C-alpha cells in the first residue's frame, strides 16, 4: 500500500488542480454572446475560400494510421532487442523469441495486407 500512496497523492493533486483551473476559467473567462465575427475562421487576413466542411480524402487518414501503427511496432522491437541478452542469461530466450515471433508474424501479416489492399497508392 505504501508504494501506491505517491500515485494516489498525484492523482488527487491532478484532479484538484484541473478542477481549480476550470473554476478559475469560468470565473474570469469571457462571458456573453459571441458575435459572427468572433466565430468566423481567420486565415491571416485573407477571406476563407473553402467552406468550413471541406472533406479531406480518407487516404490522408489511412496513411497516418498506418504510419503510427508500424512506427509503434518498431518502437516495441528496439527495447526487446536491447534486453534479449538478459533474457537469454535468465533462461527465457526461447520464450521471448517465440513471443517476438508471434509479434513479427502479426506485423508481417499487416504489411502484406497493406500491400495487397493498395492502402498507400494514391491513384
Q: How many structural domains comprise the chain? A: 1
pLDDT-derived band at 34 (thresholds 50, 70, 90) equals confident
Does residue 31 or residue 81 have the better pLDDT?
A: 81
Q: Contact at 8 Å (CB) between 80 and 92?
A: no
Q: Contact at 8 Å (CB) between 52 and 41?
A: yes
CATH of the domain at 70: 1.20.58
Residue range of the domain that includes 35? 5-116
Would 59 be classed as within a structural domain?
A: yes
Would 112 be classed as within a structural domain?
A: yes
Angle in degrees, CA 79, 82, 84, rounded to 5: 105
> 76-110, pLDDT tens digit by residue?
888 888 999 899 999 988 999 999 999 899 888 98
Would 121 be classed as within a structural domain?
A: no
Stated pTM of the model: 0.48
Amino acid at each position: 500500500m505504501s508504494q501506491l500512496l505517491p500515485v494516489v497523492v498525484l492523482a488527487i493533486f491532478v484532479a484538484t488542480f484541473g478542477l481549480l483551473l476550470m473554476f478559475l476559467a469560468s470565473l474570469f473567462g469571457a462571458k456573453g454572446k459571441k458575435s459572427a465575427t468572433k466565430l468566423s475562421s481567420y486565415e491571416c487576413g485573407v477571406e476563407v475560400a473553402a467552406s468550413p466542411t471541406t472533406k479531406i480524402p480518407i487516404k490522408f487518414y489511412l496513411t497516418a494510421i498506418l504510419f503510427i501503427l508500424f512506427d509503434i511496432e518498431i518502437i516495441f522491437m528496439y527495447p526487446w532487442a536491447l534486453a534479449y541478452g538478459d533474457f537469454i542469461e535468465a533462461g527465457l530466450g526461447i520464450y521471448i523469441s517465440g513471443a517476438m515471433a508471434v509479434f513479427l508474424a502479426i506485423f508481417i501479416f499487416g504489411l502484406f495486407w497493406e500491400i495487397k489492399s493498395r492502402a498507400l497508392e494514391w491513384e
